[in-house]
Amino acid sequence: MESKVNNSRWAAIARTVVIGRNPRFTFARIVVLVMAVVLAREFVLLPVRIKGPSMLPTYAENGVNFVNRLAYVSHEPQRGDVVTIRYSGTSVMLMKRVIGLPGETIAFHAGRVSINGIPLEEPFIKYPTDWEIPPVTLASDKYFVVGDNRSMPQNLHTFGETERRRIVGKILLCKNLFASSPPPR
């Protein structure tokens, strides 16, 4: 008889842990939690899979990261931010680093980036390059983006000017590597 009481007590404890004391309230909490997750997935956090070597060594191929779609609600993209850019619809996006801001003049000489004639320190560049790009002055709504892996030939790399409206958001879990030194102006 004592074992029946003991089993009944454990069953009641298990029910309380799994379902809660009030099943209706527990069901309502589950519905709210599911809705919050769906809304966050649709409007705040967008998962992206990294395909291609463009962002090596900063981001590995086939890795997964999240895009914060609300990152630029209160401010514009900054130099050094890793962003996703809507390339074709919502399923094809590019992951690139912002190096040029609106109104700046960007140029590559012997693989080195200069902004308004001042060389840009890029601590994340591990592979040397020999890119040559003549100076380009950005319009008031354009940003210059490029991947971190510049060891590939220039013609095999997707980079350049992008409109602000095409920037979807900022990649989470990424440090702004320009934060320690002031950007050239």
Catalytic residues: 54, 96
Q: Could you give phi then psi for residue 41, rounded to 5 degrees?
A: -65, -40
DSSP β-bridge partners for residue 143: 162
Q: Provide the sign of the torsion angle of the four alpha carbons 127, 129, 135, 137, taken in this order.
A: negative
Give the whole-angstrom CA distance, residue 7 versus residue 2. Answer: 9
**β-pairing, 64-68 with 45-49?**
antiparallel
Locate 132 and state its tokens: 């040559």
Question: Cα-Cα-Cα-Cα dihedral of 103, 109, 114, 119, to 10°?
Answer: -170
